[in-house]
Amino acid sequence: MWGFEPARSAVLVRDFFAERGVRQVLIPGIGYGRNAQVFRDSGMAVTGIEISQTAIEIARKQYGPAMAIYHGSVTDMPFDHNRYDGIFCYALIHLLDRPEREKLIRDCYHQLTEQGYMVFTVLSKAAPTYGQGTYLSPDRFEMFGGVQLFFLRPRLHPGRVWRGRTVGGHGSDGKLPLLFDHMPKGYLREIIGSFALSR
């Protein structure tokens, strides 16, 4: 467990969402809820998806039953037919293989309102663990006792500015924030294809 304090990126995304009036947030891979509470504290309704029943039980014990959490894999989305104006996916997408990454991004996109925002944190090639472990395929390695990790090439979304930083810059933890906003659907489709099909 990582404790109950939210990740720094969750706080930044909460601020970003709050500035834009986001009210309904979907968090695929919500875990035990540590990154959800900052959104709730700002008056946003949060819905989560989590594969671990144990994590869901911890979230219920820590944060109460008011937060809707669907039990299941993000690869089985959607779990409802709601549209969300904010989607935050923290430290999950790099655990998925190429078809699963593509499906997750598309499923999230289909649950996004027309003016909504999707934010993913991913591992980048700037992370200190890049290249460690057993090589599986370009930018994908197995380490930590069987965990398969995908590292994103920092070329996906050049020139887009997010909270004063150009997307493509890396945090000290090697995570790369991505912002998919209400761009024309054709452009977003190109971005989705570029990311999901990266090797």
Q: Tens digits of per-residue pLDDT, 113-122? A: 988 888 888 7
Instruction: Report the number of distinct structural domains present in the chain.
Output: 1
Q: Backbone dihedral region of 120: left (phi > 0), alpha (psi from -120 to 50 degrees) or beta?
A: beta
> d(Cα 56, Cα 68) in Å, to the nearest integer?
10
> d(Cα 96, Cα 103) in Å, to the nearest integer?
10
> d(Cα 152, Cα 135) in Å, to the nearest integer?
15
The reply to whether 81 falls in a domain is yes
Q: What pLDDT, in 10s, does the model give residues 23-66?
A: 999 999 999 999 999 999 999 999 999 999 999 999 999 888 88
SS3 136: strand
The reply to whether 26 falls in a domain is yes
> d(Cα 54, Cα 30) in Å, to the nearest integer?
12
The reply to whether 131 falls in a domain is no
The reply to whether 132 falls in a domain is no
* CATH number of 98's domain: 3.40.50.150
Structural domain boundaries, residue 105 = 8-124+153-193
Q: What pLDDT, in 10s, does the model give residues 132-144?
A: 999 998 888 998 9
Supply the pTM of this predicted model: 0.76
Query: Rounded to a whole number, what is the distance in angstroms from the first to the last CA of the chain?
Result: 30
Measuring CA to CA, how many Å separate 39 from each of 47, 48, 104? 11, 12, 21
The reply to whether 146 falls in a domain is no
The reply to whether 118 falls in a domain is yes
